[in-house]
A and B are shown apart, each in its own frame.
Chain A
Amino acid sequence: MSAAVTAPASGAPAASRGILLILLLPGLVALIITFLLPLLWLLRASFASSAVGALSGGDWTLEAYTTVLFDPFYWRVAWNTLVVGFNVAIFAVILSYPIALFLVRTQSRFRGVLTALAVAPLLTSSVVRTYGWMVILGDRGVINSTLQSLSLTDGVIRLTNNSFGATVALIEILMPYAILAMLSGFGRLNVQLEEAAAMLGASRLKVFTRIVLPLSLPGVLTAALLVFVLAISAFVTPRLMGGGRVFVLGTEVFNEATVTLNWPLAAALSVMLLVLFSSIILLYQRALRALEV
């Protein structure tokens, strides 16, 4: 008799859990095939020796990792990558913040159009946009030509084929991501809160620093994370804009994979990139929890 009493109670939740699992299955399978398996292959490859063919069932060796971990060149590469990542993240966020704030608060009837415009660059391939920057920053590009025609400079200012050009291009290319992230992260902002603060005696500056800024911080953090992660994995823009002088993890992985054909090394560098990702994400989650309201 007790079985008849308990069965319905446990049966219902189990059934709905089963249905949930079945619904999730296609997505899980897709994720496993396109994401998990290549990741596992990558890990396996990083432990192979650099002789070709070693990937298909060769020995396991730490050769690639010892190179990556003990060669000072790669420490510099990793450091460059982090520096580029931080610079791009900081400036992209600073430049995007006023834009996102405006879009979230404006009552204009063009709000939708303006938002679409801010995000529209994402419709263009980043390679095309990088070439655009080469035209703007190049030795005979828009900026140099203008400065010279205005007689403001004598020679050419090196704005591209270096770290500066790569950073500037990356900042602009990644700004739409920052704007999008902030737009969704600014959900807690509310005009009434600002009015309340003003009524309590807060000047416009105080309203910004005490109310708007703290409440927009989660959005800012998310944007910074997104841009940072995209920046440290970039390789097309640093390669094209860097004139071959910008050595970041992305470009090194590309070189090892396609030029020197040292796939295990390329894999090990990729793993290093993944480790960097994960640490930053952990930091981000900590920060977010600290801000939690």
Chain B
Amino acid sequence: MADHHVIIDNLVKTYPGAQKPSVDHVSFSLPRGEMLALLGPSGCGKTTILRMIAGLIAPSSGAIRLDGRDVSAIPVYKRNMGMVFQAYALFPHMTVAENISFGLEMRKVGRAEREERVRKALDLVKLAGFGERKVSQLSGGQQQRAAIARSLVIEPELLLLDEPLSNLDAKLRDEMRDEIRDIQARTGVTAIFVTHDQDEALSMADRLAVMSAGKLEQIGTPLDIFDRPQTHFVASFIGAGTFFEGRVAGPGLAEVDGLPLLHFAGEAAIGSSIKLMVRPHRLLLAGEPGQPNSFSGVVEHIVYRGQILTLSVRCGSRVLQADLPTHAGVLPKKGDNVTLTVAPDDVTLIGREAA
């Protein structure tokens, strides 16, 4: 890990007069070519971290290393990083081509080479021929592509993106998500993007870093984050789930109020209090009663979502949320008695930290 391309080491940012730091001792690293998502609710510090990496904000303490070099002292305009802003920040008084070649001009690249590289960048983002257009003549999606081209043409060490999809409508979002992923993969540039949208993070990133209130909650692949959240925050922020609190009654067994004993995967001291979570899509309609982790109850509420049927089932004093695939045979209706079951492996231990 020490030889990773980008290393964020104990980064702290406390604004003057603030009680708590906005970024509280965050550390993570990226290997070359990886795309990392910084995910979290607004105010969690993710944008502050991005801007510190870019050099737009000075850290209170900590280091930012690129290939081992601490770049914290290097001024913004010498860091050789590319940044795509949320509002694109294209220069309105220049054409698309002039925007893209701006970074090359600053690096004193010769005219012929500039034109060639700009042409290639336009091709890369599928904006060939748009060079002479004025920025105001571009649509939202085209502006974003131009912004991406502008930041990539300089062959930056690191690509930073601030909420890249949030300004686009749903259809464009899908399209651009795939494109950005594609461009990043093709150029192989190491990238970090910031988002508050978990779908965006899960679908675009190689790894996610989930943040809350300045602290890094968990970092891992989308699968890790989604299926094996390590803290309550991560578990509740990503995806939906049903949460259980109880006490460990035996190895892999938990006593939860109002329900039969829960079998779960993971180590926990007997007698200690515990938090567990089950993802909705892990709950299945039981074959026969009597299987471990069986819950019987009445269907209170049904939401049909095309591929999925979301059930709210009342078992005793609690409501369980289940997502059933709609292709599976007979589907329960409101008021039906059903039995749900979940494999012990899919009952996730989410730490002993309080919520």
Contacts and interface: CB of A to CB of B under 8 A. Distances in A.
Interface of A: 188, 190, 192-193, 195-203, 206, 210-211, 214-215, 291, 293
Given A195-B89, A196-B89, A214-B93, A201 B136 contact: no
A197 B54 contact: no
B89 A192 contact: yes
Contacts of A196: 83, 85, 89-91
Contacts of A200: 77, 82, 102-103, 106, 150-151, 154
A195 B54 CA distance: 10
B81 interface: yes
Interface in B80-103: 80-83, 85, 87, 89-93, 102-103
Interface string B56-99: 10000000000000000000111111110101011111000000
Given A193-B89, A201-B80, 16 more contacts: A196-B83, A196-B90, A196-B91, A198-B77, A199-B77, A199-B79, A199-B81, A199-B83, A199-B151, A200-B103, A200-B106, A200-B150, A200-B151, A201-B78, A211-B91, A291-B93
A199 B93 contact: no
26 contacts: A188-B92, A190-B89, A192-B85, A192-B89, A193-B91, A193-B92, A195-B76, A196-B83, A196-B85, A197-B102, A198-B77, A199-B55, A199-B56, A199-B76, A199-B79, A199-B151, A200-B106, A201-B78, A201-B80, A201-B107, A201-B154, A202-B77, A206-B77, A210-B102, A214-B93, A293-B136
B83 A201 contact: no
A195 B87 CA distance: 12
B134 interface: yes
Contacts of A203: 77
Contact of A201 (B85, B87, B106, B134): B106
A235 B134 CA distance: 45
Interface of B: 54-56, 76-83, 85, 87, 89-93, 102-103, 106-107, 134-136, 150-151, 154
A206 B39 CA distance: 34
B28 to A, nearest CB: 22
Contacts of B103: 200-201
Contacts of A199: 54-56, 76-77, 79, 81-83, 151
A195 B85 contact: yes
Nearest to B84: A196
B134 to A, nearest CB: 7
A196 B83 CA distance: 7
B77 A293 contact: no
B134 A293 contact: yes
Contacts of A198: 55-56, 76-77
Nearest to B101: A200
B328 to A, nearest CB: 50
A206 B103 CA distance: 11
Contacts of A190: 89
Nearest to B95: A293
Contacts of A202: 77, 102, 106
Nearest to A195: B56
Nearest to B102: A200
A193 B135 CA distance: 13
B92 A215 contact: yes
Find the residue from B56, B81, B107 having the highest chain A CB count within 10 A: B56
A80 B95 CA distance: 42
List the 7 closest pairs (A to B, CB-CB), nearest first. A201-B106, A200-B103, A196-B89, A192-B89, A198-B76, A199-B83, A293-B93
Contacts of B78: 201
Nearest to B147: A196
Nearest to B86: A192
A83 B79 CA distance: 48
A57 B169 CA distance: 71
